[in-house]
Amino acid sequence: MSVFTPIDGPSAGRLEAVSPQDETFPPPAALAAAANVREDAYAQARADPEAFWARQARRLEWTREPEQTYDGSGFPNVTWFADGTLNVARNCVDRHVENGLGDKTALLWEGEPGDERTVTYAQLQTEVARCAHALTELGVGRGDVVVVYLPVLVETVVVMLACARIGAVHSMVFGGFSAGSLRFRVTDGQAKLLVTTDGQYRRGKAVPVKPNADAAVEGIESIEHVLVIRRTGGDVDWTDGRDVWWHDVVDGQPSTHEAEAFPAETPLMLIYTSGTTGTPKGLLHTMGGYLTQASWTAWACFDHKPDDVYWCTADLAWVTAHTYEVYGPLSNGVTQVIYEGTRTPPGPAGTSRSSPSTASPCTTPRPRWCGRT
């Protein structure tokens, strides 16, 4: 490790290493003794990476256990666990309910205005089932791309898991992106469905979202429907035959859904670079290999324990949140805080307003880990 100091004068803006450091900071003995991962894991992974990841894959529920691990024979096209089949949503929700954790809290959600929802794993299972039926009713099926242009809501997590449940591919777009940025992702993925909201709360204000969504999909033939969540209650323009309300299409659906098992190499998500340094570049993640690493690294790096309350502050559109706010924590049966708003420090005692109120009954437990992007 090196300590850096800014340089003044003509070279201002550069950093100079002034004090190389070789210090280490060992964890407290009690923490290390109870850790999910011990030092020998590093040696095991180095000695046989394929066997190491095959063991981690067995932490998941597979309909057909994979016998294959890594196949790089077609490099740069490689596969992981290609002969295995699974359902990602079952791994994140259903299996916990079936293992007696249905009453455990999955999500502690707080909106920026202070409204709250507590969602158990059993309730999340029901919500995902209803959304999966609704997506099917709207014509979405395996391999279809669903673009999600939402803030951090419970419904955002639900629609991601519902897509995974039916084999559709979700493409998450940050709710603050422009209509042009959204349009690029819709057209590049040839999306069939856009999920959005009438508006969102951001920095204390209700901000319209639907106008950007309308502009983004205007004239795009692949879009069949725009599914709209009523969040702020603002007036919106409406295109009959294309636009549908979430509460009209989702809420009345059956509360159970039979999940299909998909091959491990089935596409799960499209995620793009931001585009700040050029045209955004899309990356396609597949189900089995992605969920294996997401689940194990969340368990290992955040040392998830059954009674933890965890908070990752990333927006759900970022890959940090895909991995460490949705698929990683939920596949481990973790209780987590999700918050709609943005950080607007300073708040009381120097905290950010995005730190959920300690007076809130849904956030009384103190989060053990807080991740950010």
pLDDT digits (tens, 9 = 90+) for 30-79: 988 999 998 899 999 999 999 999 999 999 999 999 999 999 999 988 99
Q: Does 309 reside within a domain?
A: yes
- Asked if residue 134 belongs to a domain, the reply is yes
At residue 361 the predicted structure's pLDDT band, cuts being 50, 70 and 90, is very low
Residue 362: pLDDT over 70:
no
State the Cα–Cα distance between residues 366 and 312, nearest whole angstrom. Answer: 13
In a domain, 119, yes or no: yes
Average pLDDT over residues 102-127: 97
pLDDT of residue 14: 62
**pLDDT greater at residue 276 or residue 243:** 243
pLDDT band, very low/low/confident/very high, at 364 (cuts 50, 70, 90): very low
Q: Which residues of 296-335 are buried (b: 16+ CB within 10 A; e: fewer)?
A: bebbeebbbeeebbbbbbbbbbbbbbbbbbbbbbbbbbbb
Strands (E) in the chain, as ranges, are 2-6, 15-20, 70-71, 79-80, 85-86, 105-110, 116-120, 145-148, 169-172, 193-197, 199-202, 205-208, 225-229, 243-245, 262-263, 267-272, 282-286, 309-312, 335-339, 369-371
Residue 202 is assigned to a structural domain of this protein: yes
Q: What is the extent of the structural domain holding 236?
A: 85-371
* 31 within domain boundaries: no
Specify if 343 maps to a domain. yes
* 47 domain residue, yes or no: no
Other beta carbons less than 10 A from residue 20's beta carbon: 8
Residue 243 has pLDDT above 50, yes or no: yes
CATH number at residue 113: 3.40.50.12780
Evaluate whether residue 18 is within a structural domain.
Answer: no
Tell me the pTM: 0.88
Q: How many domains does the chain have?
A: 1
Take residue 14 and report the two structure tokens written for it.
């550069």
pLDDT value, residue 11:
53
| Side chain identity at residue 354, one-letter code | S
